[in-house]
């Protein structure tokens, strides 16, 4: 299943938003948490390797879906204890704090 990825740049920050393609257009809820997998993630179709190549340049990552999270884990951007499950769907974020 393809990953969809969109890259945003603002000043020195580069954010990579990525989600499993089959989650696009869906909303998930669990308790007080809600995630909408909408236009924010609707970018290019990429492979795991393509996602990891972009993450090497990113200061922020936002990930939704099992395949996307697994790719981010393989690259060392996400660990199991950093995953939030919302309605049965994994979500994680990655931030580099610059000093």
Whichever domain contains 77, its CATH number is 3.30.1860.10
Residue spans of alpha helices (H) in the chain:
48-55, 66-74
Does this model's pTM top 0.85?
A: yes
What pLDDT was estimated at residue 54?
94
97 pLDDT band, cuts 50/70/90, is confident
The answer, yes or no, to whether residue 14 has pLDDT greater than 70, is yes
pLDDT at 99: 63
What is the span of the domain harbouring residue 64?
A: 3-95
Beta-carbon count within 10 A of 48 CB: 16
Eight-class DSSP state of 1: -
* Cβ partners under 8 Å of residue 40, min gap 6: 6, 17, 62
pLDDT digits (tens, 9 = 90+) for 25-47: 999 999 999 999 999 999 999 99
Residue with tokens 């969109």, as numbered in its chain: 6
CA atoms within 13 A on the CB side of 57: 10
Q: How many domains does the chain have?
A: 1
Residues 62/90, Cβ–Cβ less than 8 Å: no
Residue 1 has pLDDT above 90, yes or no: no
Stretch 64-88: mean pLDDT, rounded? Answer: 96
Q: CA 79, CA 7: separation in Å to the nearest integer?
A: 22
């Amino acid at each position: 299943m393809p990953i969809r990825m969109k890259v945003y740049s603002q000043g020195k920050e580069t954010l990579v938003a990525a989600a499993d393609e089959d989650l696009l257009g869906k909303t998930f809820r669990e308790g007080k948490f809600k995630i909408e997998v909408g236009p924010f993630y609707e970018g290019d179709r990429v492979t795991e390797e393509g996602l990891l190549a972009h993450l090497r340049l990113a200061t922020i990552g936002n990930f939704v879906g099992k395949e996307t999270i697994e790719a981010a884990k393989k690259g060392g951007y996400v660990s199991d204890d950093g995953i939030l499950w919302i309605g049965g769907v994994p979500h994680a974020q990655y931030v580099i704090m610059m000093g």
